Amino acid sequence: MATVIDEPQTGRFRSPFEIETPPGAEGWREMYPPYLLFSEENRAFEDSVFWIWDSMHLPEVELPFDTHTHENWMPAFSVSNSRVFALPPSNGGTQRMLNGYEYVTLTPVTDPRELEARSTVFAARAGYYYQNWNELFERWKVKAEKLIGDMAALEVAERLPDLESDEFFRAHPAANSGQFLLRAYDTLMQMDITAWTYHFEMLNIGYAAYLNLFMFCRQAFPGITDQTLAHMLSGTETMYMRPDAELRKLARLAIDLGIGQRVASSADPQQVIAALRSDPAGQQWLQALESIKQPWFNLSTGNGLYHHHVSWNEDLRVPFKAMTGYIQTLQRGGSIDRPVNEINERKQRLTAEYRGLLQTEEDRQVFDQNLGLARTVATFIEDHAFIIHDWYHSVEWNKVREFGRFLANNRFIDQVDDLFYLNRWEVPQALFEAVSAWSSVTPCRGANGYWKGHVQKRKGIIEALRKWTPPPALGPVPTESDDPVMLMLYGLNTERIQSWLGVGDGSANVLRGVAASSGQATGTARVVRSVNELSQVHEGEILVCPLTEPAWSPIFSTIKAAVSDIGGIMSHSAIISREYGLPAVVGTGNGTTRIKTGDTITVDGTAGVVTIHAG
């Protein structure tokens, strides 16, 4: 990938207007809503700011419908900063799609007078949250779980009736099923906006408390690593630990019931389950399995932001593979207990030791306050991701599929998942047309190939875009010192961005990133670009991916080390890598392009360096 450096000091990535459409992807702009595209009308702004490819959240090319997640989350993130909490240094950011990938620009606030005015509002509002954090988080959980329940209960017709039934007529006089269907879609989209509003309600101010602790500790201990700081904060009993903990329990239960061998089978999970139904022990075990599926099997096999990131509920291979490993360990007489007490004791000891190194009693008091607040907010920061990214999204994608089923039943599309080739505004157009045609009992364009033609064409475009590698950034590198929001959310500072500009200048065999989990490992690289390729990973290989995902946990027990393109020290992946004791370097910018499957590489998770030895 060519990068252009205009100014020796600041540097500049290519303009979004210079990026060419990959061959075979002509017409890609028509897939996405106009507001998501770089445009001549808005060029003055778009060409003047710095854009980063958000490969931390969205490493794969996006189908048109999938962009609705960040179409909703980016304003929710921003409005919390700009209009609600008045987070002093940031108004959030905005987004554009380029060749099927999302680019983000952040909008920092730098005017000293504005910063001051905002800080008063922020102190009062965020202060209220910090003071009442646990209570507000309890309330938050109640409303978030209610939202998920309401969404699951949303009724979506598979087909519209030839004639409304008497029952329907009595319950809803003079209403009709078409009207209900359209309302259900609107409600779904409303709920998604609400979900993202909840998501950011406590997140940005939580990160502000993290930042406060990190800055203080870096001042006191200039050489302290980010991973050490993260370790001081990490909880051992977060929701993300539960699915795996439940699998360990199921593994033990299988052994106790004498059916370990039958569960730990290499057969397809559905066959295993069918076979277990035949006897009481099997039935008892299956009952236990069913009882934990809600909510714990809503763990996404990815980060939940793509429709194909199905959860364990839809794809039982991941949990069954993990249980097989646990059962085999138990059968060999090994232990599968997580040493929770040891982990907690070690964490406490380390924290006390750093505290003891502080030079004054005042510093120790400040440390206690900062750490106390950071640990308070950590409960939300760690658990919100499971509730929204995994649980909520599993329910949402499946609800969206119900509209896909309706459209497929009405011959608007061939298969349920073809819906995802329509964007969020095209789906209600199709639904509206279907309902109109149903109302007037007339044929319609949509059922006669209009949308199928679009889907077909877009499948080709998506395949072409999938082969394209997005540059890590676009536009001029900001000259301001590090943006604290950019640092906290994306793990990006000016130094790292500058290092991307150096791509191809000499050090071709060395990649630098964030040291996410300490240790060193050398082995064979396996480049995995999407969750669907995860099964190609062999034991003892080094995973190289756009981002590492907590829900890939079982894979982490077989790989040697992990490397990712983007990710900060607080990304869930970094936390899981530390938990598994795997060396990990995240935020390399372009590891998946520069490393090829089969390369021998060394991952130094302490220094944040990956070395490519040979192919």
Partner 1 sequence: MRAEPYVIWLADCTRDCLPVVGGKAIGLGALVREGFQVPAGFAISTSAYREHIDHNGLAGPLQALVTECTSLEAQKRASEEIRQLFEASRPSPRIEDEVLAAYARLYGDASAPVAVRSSATAEDLADASFAGQQETYLWILGGAEVLEHIVRCWASLFTPQAIAYRARPRSASLHGVNARTRVADLAMGVVVQRMVPAEAAGVMFTIDPVTGDPSGIVVEAAYGLGAAVVNGEVTPDRVCVDKVLLEIRSRTIGTKALAHRFDPAVQGTRLEEVPPLLQTQLCLTDDEVIHLAALGKKMELAMGRAQDMEWAIGAGRSGPREVFLLQARPETVWSQKPRRPLVQPESTVMDRILQAMRVPRPSASEADLRASQTGAPGSDRQMP
| Contact residues: partner 1, CB under 8 A | 87-89, 112, 115-124, 126-127, 130-131, 208-209, 211-212, 214-216, 219-225, 228, 350, 353-354, 357-360, 362-363, 366, 369-370, 372-373, 481, 484, 518, 606-607
Nearer to partner 1, 410 or 518 (CB): 518
Contact call for residues 53 and 472 (beta carbons, < 8 A): yes
How near is the Cβ of 234 to partner 1 at its closest, in Å? 14
In the 3-class helix/strand/coil scheme, how is 403-470 assigned residue by residue? HHHHHHHCCCCCCHHHHHHCCCCHHHHHHHHHHHHHHHCCCCCHHHCHHHHHHHHHHHHHHHHHCCCC
How near is the Cβ of 26 to partner 1 at its closest, in Å? 44
- The token duo for 192 is 């998604």
Nearer to partner 1, 173 or 222 (CB): 222
Nearer to partner 1, 221 or 580 (CB): 221
| Placement of tokens 């106009």 in the chain | 34
Alpha-carbon distance of 114 to 89, in angstroms, equals: 9
Nearer to partner 1, 131 or 479 (CB): 131
How near is the Cβ of 561 to partner 1 at its closest, in Å? 16
How near is the Cβ of 194 to partner 1 at its closest, in Å? 28
How near is the Cβ of 50 to partner 1 at its closest, in Å? 18
- The token duo for 47 is 């060409």
How near is the Cβ of 574 to partner 1 at its closest, in Å? 16
Nearer to partner 1, 87 or 330 (CB): 87
How near is the Cβ of 361 to partner 1 at its closest, in Å? 8
How near is the Cβ of 575 to partner 1 at its closest, in Å? 17
Alpha-carbon distance of 446 to 411, in angstroms, equals: 8
Nearer to partner 1, 170 or 349 (CB): 349
Radius of gyration for the alpha carbons in the chain, expressed in angstroms and rounded: 25
Measuring CA to CA, which residue among 287, 315, 283, 278 is closest to residue 300?
A: 315
Exposed e or buried b per residue across 477-504, where buried means at least 16 C-beta atoms within 10 angstroms of its C-beta: bbeeeebbbbbbbbbbbbebbebbbebe
- The token duo for 473 is 């950034």
| Placement of tokens 């980060």 in the chain | 303
Instruction: Give the DSSP letter of residue 522.
Output: E
How near is the Cβ of 485 to partner 1 at its closest, in Å? 8
Nearer to partner 1, 221 or 432 (CB): 221
Residue type, 277: R
How near is the Cβ of 518 to partner 1 at its closest, in Å? 6
How near is the Cβ of 490 to partner 1 at its closest, in Å? 16
**Continuous H helices in 156-300:** 166-171, 177-201, 203-220, 226-233, 242-256, 260-263, 269-276, 280-296
How near is the Cβ of 564 to partner 1 at its closest, in Å? 21
Nearer to partner 1, 47 or 363 (CB): 363
| Placement of tokens 């996410």 in the chain | 516
How near is the Cβ of 118 to partner 1 at its closest, in Å? 8
Nearer to partner 1, 173 or 223 (CB): 223
| Placement of tokens 């907690």 in the chain | 344
- The token duo for 112 is 């000293």
Q: Which helix (H) or strand (E) holds 604?
A: strand 600-604
Separation of first and last alpha carbons in the chain: 20
Alpha-carbon distance of 175 to 571, in angstroms, equals: 48
Nearer to partner 1, 249 or 364 (CB): 364
CA distances to 167, 246, 602 from 389, rounded to whole Å, are 38, 19, 32
Contact call for residues 606 and 519 (beta carbons, < 8 A): yes
How near is the Cβ of 494 to partner 1 at its closest, in Å? 14
Nearer to partner 1, 378 or 407 (CB): 378
Alpha-carbon distance of 372 to 352, in angstroms, equals: 13
What DSSP string runs through 560-572? Answer: SEEEESS--TTSH
Contact call for residues 258 and 268 (beta carbons, < 8 A): no
Nearer to partner 1, 130 or 500 (CB): 130
Nearer to partner 1, 38 or 214 (CB): 214
Nearer to partner 1, 45 or 128 (CB): 128
| Long-range pairs, 272-279, Cβ under 8 A, ≥24 | 272/320, 273/316
Alpha-carbon distance of 77 to 196, in angstroms, equals: 8
